[in-house]
Structure 1
Amino acid sequence: MDSSGNTIFIPGSTSGIGLALALELQARGNTVIVGGRRTELLDKIAADHPGIDTVTIDTADPASIAAATQEVLARHPELNVLITMAGIMRVEDWHQPESFLASAESVVATNVLGPIRLIAAFIEHLRSRPDATIMTVSSGLAFTPLKATPSYNASKAAIHMLSESLRLQLADTSVKVVELVPPGVRTELLPGHENNEVAMPLDEFVREVLGLIEKQPDATEIQVERVKFLRYAEVRGDYATVIETLNATDPHGR
């Protein structure tokens, strides 16, 4: 993926990593369309950042995805990059089914079915472009689990394997599949997480991501240095130690 000259749709980018990445990509010469559920946030983004287009979309709702796809492609037929950013994270206690089941189902609907439906909606168009990219968003927790968030961990592991599989299937097309693998980043993904000093500062994360895209345009995984502690724990042979360290430092896991 080139770092400039693209037309990029980022559903789930009204805050956090998605919005920070959208702004940085626009600053580097890309046309960016931000998608999200809350119209008041979309209106503010459009007002504060001229040139960024916005589209209302709920990635947990198939009808909303279908409508947003039509709207995006009607306004931006040159679209060549889809970043499936939308995701939620929930703390769950699996000792009591009534306390976690609805949460788990919501996480899977947003984090797994959402990207699948988005890719299905845009794949025909992307295949028609001479150089296109699907960027999925997994997590370091796809490789080393956080005790407090079982469904989130599982959903991101699913996205990792989906990305690996799609890359194989689409190798005979113009569509590249790139997986962004964030570590813990200071965002509002969980309450108070934006102030978690163990997590990576948001601006630092986005700068490193864009630097990696510029230096490695053919990369299949975008891994900032900090995520490698989680990403390669099993490969290094210190998986049990990394699990212990991760869960000992997480305020939601104790």
Structure 2
Amino acid sequence: MNSSSLKHSAASLFPWPRTLVTGATSGIGLALTRQLAEAGAPVLALGRNAEALAPLRAVHPHIEFIPGDLSDLASLEALAADLVSRYPDLACLINNAGMQHNVLFDQAECTAERIRSEIDLNLTAPMVLTRALLPHLRSQRAAWVVNVTSGLAFAPKPSAAVYSATKAGLHLFTEALRLQMQGRNKLQVVEAIMPLVDTPMTQGRGRNKLPASEAAAQVIEGLRTGRDNIWVGKAKGIPWLQRLAPSLLARILRGG
């Protein structure tokens, strides 16, 4: 299937196929879970807080809560095998879970353990989970891997050195996987690039934040129209600023 026909299939598959959303109990992940369910998609909501999903599951009983700790990298192969066994129609993975320790790199709070935990959750876990699910996804009629990154992948801010590095890594991983998959199967690899979004992670910092519900809606619209790169909200200006005003882009993102 060529790129144009694959994108056409994305537009025609709504209601969306069964989708695994990581970090589904908060922020963008919770909004994605809600809106996908409202669009008719059966959703596997992976997270650690079942109570946060209880009201939503009462309205959309086809949402399945999947307990899981993505920081436990050794458990992800078994988790993926269990999901494939229980849900053979799983056809979309949205790697959304993430954390940000908003500290300067030379502060005492920036410990080796914090660095490792941020890298594990933001970068290593999406790679490991994608790799574990890849054979199954490639066997589907059409399938998607969606990696949620950030404008900070393109210009970092001082108090999020590790987070910025992990999102830059996830950005390049997405591009590399997309190149590897070209012409080989029906798997579309998508990057959703976020601006500053109003979530529990960003509480108390930044202004004019995009509501999580709007960020999720733009991701879903990008999937509906078959885009490989979904620039969300103010992040739409990043490609233009990269070419014409990179120093301005750096100043803008330093304040996020």
Q: So what's the TM-score if we normalise by structure 2?
A: 0.87
- Cα deviation, 1:45-83, whole Å, max 9, x if unaligned, reads 433532201111111112432333233223211111011
1:53 alignment partner in structure 2: 64
Contact 2:18 2:92 in 1 (8 A): yes
Shift, 1:170, TM fit? 1.2
Q: 2:127 aligns with which of 116, 121, 126?
A: 116
Which consecutive unaligned segments of at least 5 residues does structure 1 have?
A: none
Q: 2:39 aligns with which of 28, 33, 47?
A: 28
Deviating more after overlay: 159-168 vs 90-99: 90-99
* Matching of residue 41 in structure 1 with residue 23 in structure 2: no
Q: 2:174 aligns with which of 147, 163, 188?
A: 163
Shift, 1:192, TM fit? 2.6
1:183 alignment partner in structure 2: 195
For residues 97 and 6 of structure 1, what CA distance do their matches in structure 2 show? 45
2:247 alignment partner in structure 1: 240
* Matching of residue 65 in structure 1 with residue 72 in structure 2: no
CA RMSD of aligned residues (A): 2.0
For residues 227 and 130 of structure 1, what CA distance do their matches in structure 2 show? 32
Contact 1:56 1:68 in 2 (8 A): no
SS in 1 for 2:157: coil
Contact 1:35 1:55 in 2 (8 A): yes
- Cα deviation, 1:202-249, whole Å, max 9, x if unaligned, reads 2222223323333x21x111112410334443212x1212222333x4
**Structure 1 pair 86/178, CA: closer, same or farther in 2 (3 Å)?**
same
1:199 alignment partner in structure 2: 209
2:235 alignment partner in structure 1: 227
2:159 alignment partner in structure 1: 148
Deviating more after overlay: 62-71 vs 142-151: 62-71
**Structure 1 pair 165/128, CA: closer, same or farther in 2 (3 Å)?**
same
SS in 1 for 2:189: strand
For residues 66 and 132 of structure 1, what CA distance do their matches in structure 2 show? 19
Which consecutive unaligned segments of at least 5 residues does structure 2 have?
A: 1-9
Contact 2:149 2:191 in 1 (8 A): yes
Q: 1:91 aligns with which of 93, 102, 106?
A: 102
1:212 alignment partner in structure 2: 222
For residues 35 and 24 of structure 2, what CA distance do their matches in structure 1 show? 12
Higher share of residues assigned strand: 2
In the alignment of these two chains, the number of paired residues is 244
Identity, % of aligned pairs?
Answer: 31
**Structure 1 pair 103/229, CA: closer, same or farther in 2 (3 Å)?**
farther
Deviating more after overlay: 141-150 vs 1-10: 1-10
* Matching of residue 78 in structure 1 with residue 89 in structure 2: yes
Q: Which has the higher contact order (CA 8 A, sep 6+)?
A: 2
Deviating more after overlay: 200-209 vs 136-145: 200-209
Contact 1:92 1:103 in 2 (8 A): no
- Amino acid in structure 2 at the alignment position of 1:209: V
